[in-house]
Amino acid sequence: MTDLDQVYREHAATVYRFLLAKCGSEQTAEELTQETFYQAVRSIHRYDGSCKITTWLCGIAKNLLYASYRDVSLQNVPLEEAPEPVAPSAEEEVLADLDRTAALQAIHRAPEPAREVLYLRLLGGLSFREIGAVLGQTETWARVTFYRAKAKLVKELNHDA
pLDDT in tens, 10-61: 888 888 988 888 888 888 888 888 888 888 888 887 777 777 888 888 888 8
pLDDT at 72 over 50: no
pLDDT of residue 76: 55
- Calpha distance 25→140 (Å, rounded): 29
What gap in Å lies between CA 58 and CA 161, rounded to an integer? 37
Q: What is the DSSP string of 107-152?
A: HHHSPTTHHHHHIIIIIT---HHHHHHHHTS-HHHHHHHHHHHHHH
CATH architecture of structural domain 3-81? Orthogonal Bundle (1.10)
Distance, CA of 158 to CA of 144 (rounded, Å)? 21
Domain boundaries, the chain: 3-81, 90-160
CATH class of 90-160: mainly alpha
**137-157 pLDDT per residue, tens:** 998 998 899 989 888 888 887
